Chain A
Amino acid sequence: MKVADAVAPGLVGLAVLGGWEALVRHYAVPAYVLPGPVAIWQALLADWPLLAGSLLVTLRIALLALALAVSLGGLLAVLFAQSRWVERAFFPYAVVLQVTPIVAIAPLILIWVDDVTVSLLICAWIVAFFPVLSNTVLGLNSADRNHVELFRLYGASRWQTLWLLRLPGALPFFLAGLRVAGGLALIGAVVAEFVAGAGGTGSGLAFRILEAGYQLKIPRMFAALALISAAGIAIFAVLSLVQHLLLRRWHESALKPEG
């Protein structure tokens, strides 16, 4: 079943790549306009040490930002769930942070924060934390009424209700937010690198794209782009797996239809 599911998209991908290569060759398109997949692959192999180093830099920022988003977003969500008042007072500011485009804030952060890595981290965190926060708040507030009464009947403390009822109930919501946040953390890291990279300070994949663009090494540019996509897909796949493993025993979203 799993293998068959991968066959169709695999075939489509191969056909597109094949058609791309054929067109580039047939019309003899120069590599500095549009390189074919083979040229990109060759650039990827040739520049692998350089690109792999940059991939690690970008991935490190994205994953750290994700970890921060999860811990701070989750913590804030728990705080918000403690009182409607706190939620009403602070949630709008989280929204403001979310709706302001990161490209517009990034230069400011780069000016204010001396350490480039830290400022990149902050940018990526700003984009990634909102889905975690808003989903977790929603999850914490959607505990079943009867469950809440059950806990009250047996004299549960606030802490017990949070730990045994609200947090497990919020888990599916949190994981859905996490999956979105994973992609956003990468986007945030790349966007911030672009902004920072113009000053020539970064060394992540976005910086490599800019650099290759100046040097007209277009195949390398595409290779870096492909690596960013691959990293995004990998993050999404890992988080989906985590979601599946944590929910498969009990949550509707993770249940397989009965054969």
Chain B
Amino acid sequence: MHFPPPAPSPPLAPTTLVALDGVGKRFASGTQALAGVDLRIGEGEFLAILGPSGCGKSTLLRLIAGLAEPSEGVIRRAAARQVGFVFQDPTLLPWSDAITNVRLPLRLAGFEREEQEARAAQALAAVGLAGFERAYPRELSGGMRMRVSLARALVTRPSLLLMDEPFAALDELTRHRLNDDLLGLAAGSGMTVVFVTHSVFESVYLASRIIVMAARPGRIAAEMPVDAPGENGAPRPPGFRTSAEYAGLCREATEALEWAMTQ
């Protein structure tokens, strides 16, 4: 039997990194985790995916990363693309010290040992952990472990950084500090960030655009651009967290989320 070759999918717009069209995901258990998701992720964007627990945020992120295949629809990706992924837990190898954990992606890609070490040390320094190269994960605090995990995602200099509620388990002050550091790192590198969170405040503080998801089946219910100073990944100006503008944006996002949950 002969099948016709699949119709060539139209090329991506030059500034689009990932495009999802009519994407759905049904698990073997029968759960329809996602349905009809259309999404364009543009270069240099800081996209937050906001939604209640269980609405399919992690599933969507795993599809974008290529860790799972969609059961409906197509996902197209720009050719030259290096992905970094930060899991909800630090997922560090407990038997390796910080620098060995950070250089793992380079090691897997077959870089020279010296380059691995140099770039890993640089990445650790970038997340504020210079001097902790030889510390084992259990010797680090929760926030420091998350920084190591972030350094590991950054060490390949990804063009697309995917983060799945990375700071959810941290205390508020640590989270705020990591939010600012992340914005600084993103601005400096021009990379695209997709950041999953269930916190309205975190999504507004970080993102240049927010996707609000609704559950059963998981889908995009609303979209909200964040018009705030220092948008597109640049660090927020000091005092932004307490500004009336931030409060207004948070109210808007909260309303969008509440509306999505009634859908």
Contact = CB atoms under 8 A, between A and B. Distances in A.
B6 to A, nearest CB: 24
Size class of the contact patch on chain B: 20 to 34
Interface stretch (A129-137, A211-219, A247-255): A247-255
Interface in B79-96: 83, 85, 87, 89, 91, 93-96
Contacts of B65: 153
A41 interface: no
A153 B109 contact: no
A164 B91 contact: no
Contacts of A151: 108
Interface string B62-73: 100111000000
A164 B109 contact: no
B93 A146 contact: no
B57 to A, nearest CB: 16
Nearest to A152: B67
A147 B108 contact: no
Contact of A153 (B67, B94, B137): B67
B146 interface: no
Contacts of A154: 104-105, 108-109, 156
Interface string A115-157: 0000000000000000000000000000010110111111110
B93 A147 contact: yes
A97 to B, nearest CB: 31
Contacts of A144: 91
Interface residues of A, number: 21
A160 interface: yes
Given A155-B108, A155-B109, A150 B138 contact: no
B104 A168 contact: no
Contacts of B156: 154
A34 interface: no
Contact of A146 (B66, B87, B96, B137): B87
B108 A160 contact: yes
Contact of B85 (A153, A155, A160, A249): A153
Interface in A155-187: 155-156, 160, 164-165, 168-169, 171
A198 B95 CA distance: 49
A251 B95 CA distance: 8
Given A144-B91, A165-B93, A171-B95, A150 B137 contact: no
Contacts of A249: 95, 136
Contacts of B94: 250-251
A150 B87 contact: yes
A224 to B, nearest CB: 42
A29 B190 CA distance: 90
A104 to B, nearest CB: 41
Nearest to B164: A146
A5 B93 CA distance: 34
B107 interface: yes
Interface in B42-87: 62, 65-67, 83, 85, 87
Nearest to B107: A164
B91 A150 contact: yes
B91 A153 contact: no
Nearest to A171: B95
Nearest to B92: A147
Interface of A: 144, 146-147, 149-156, 160, 164-165, 168-169, 171, 249-251, 255
Given A169-B95, A250-B136, 14 more contacts: A144-B91, A146-B87, A149-B62, A152-B67, A153-B66, A153-B83, A154-B109, A154-B156, A168-B93, A171-B95, A249-B136, A250-B95, A250-B137, A250-B138
